[in-house]
Amino acid sequence: MKIYTRTGDDGTTSLAGGQRVPKNNERIEAYGTIDEIVSWVGLLRSLPVNSERSIILYSIQDKLMHSAAILSAGPDADLSKMVTPDDEDIRMLEDEIDKMEKQLPQLNSFILPGGTEAVSFTQICRTVCRRAERQVISLQDKKEHDIMVVRYLNRLSDYLFVLARKTAYESGIEQSKWIP
């Protein structure tokens, strides 16, 4: 299979199902941003500080790829065989959040991202996740599957925030508080 087809040279791309749309279509923007998160999570997975979290980060990448596939479906696509994030996936993130929060000091102010590269990369991943969430919400042709993607992205951004705090804590870094 060739990587290039030349069919996108006119500024369009295909949704799953074959419908051609402009590459700046809001659906393309949404699943393109999810693709960006997949790459950022891959970077997080490669960091030594996350070696024990590699399995969960891989699972997150998998759920994000499924989410992007759902969003790439055109109006005539058959979604019945597509895997969507579900309540179990969201519960898994919540369980991980709860485990990490039990090990962290209570948060009583906003914090400024930074401290180590790993913390900063995790916060970047979180903000890209929030952007994807906003883009998915803005899609006008909502489907039931989009709601699960929104829920997953919302919880994932929470997970990434707590993961950044946990990473800072494990590194012995005190995060800078933002005081207005």
- Could you tell me the residue range of the domain that residue 122 belongs to? 22-178
The H or E element spanning position 122 is helix 117-138
Q: Would you state the pLDDT for residue 144? A: 57
Which one, of 13, 136, 113, 140, lies nearest residue 64 by Cα? 136
What was the pLDDT predicted at 142?
A: 63
Looking at the domain assignment, is residue 11 inside a domain?
A: no
Any domain includes 65:
yes
Residue 2 belongs to a domain? no
- The verdict on residue 36 lying in a domain is yes
Q: Is residue 7 part of a domain?
A: no
Instruction: Report the pLDDT averaged over residues 139-151.
Output: 76
- CATH code of the domain in which 45 resides: 1.20.1200.10
pLDDT for the residue numbered 86: 94
Give the pLDDT confidence of 155-171 residue by residue, as tens digits. 999 999 999 999 999 99
Residue 64 lies in a domain: yes
Crossing angle of helices 54-71/87-102, nearest 10°?
Answer: 140
pLDDT band at 143 (very low <50, low <70, confident <90, very high): low
Least confident of 33-42, 68-77, 79-88, 127-136: 68-77
pLDDT on residue 140: 64
> pLDDT, tens digit, for every residue of 90-123?
999 999 999 999 999 999 889 999 999 999 999 9
pLDDT confidence bin for 15, thresholds 50/70/90: confident
Domains identified in the chain, total number: 1
* Interval 36-78: pLDDT, tens: 999 999 999 999 988 899 999 999 999 999 999 988 886 667 7
Question: Model's pTM, two decimal places?
Answer: 0.91
> Is 13 a member of any domain?
no
- For the cut 90, the answer to whether the pLDDT of residue 145 exceeds it is no
Residue 154 lies in a domain: yes
Q: Could you write out the DSSP letters of every residue in 55-102?
A: HHHHHHHHHHHHHHHHHTB-TT---TT-----HHHHHHHHHHHHHHHH
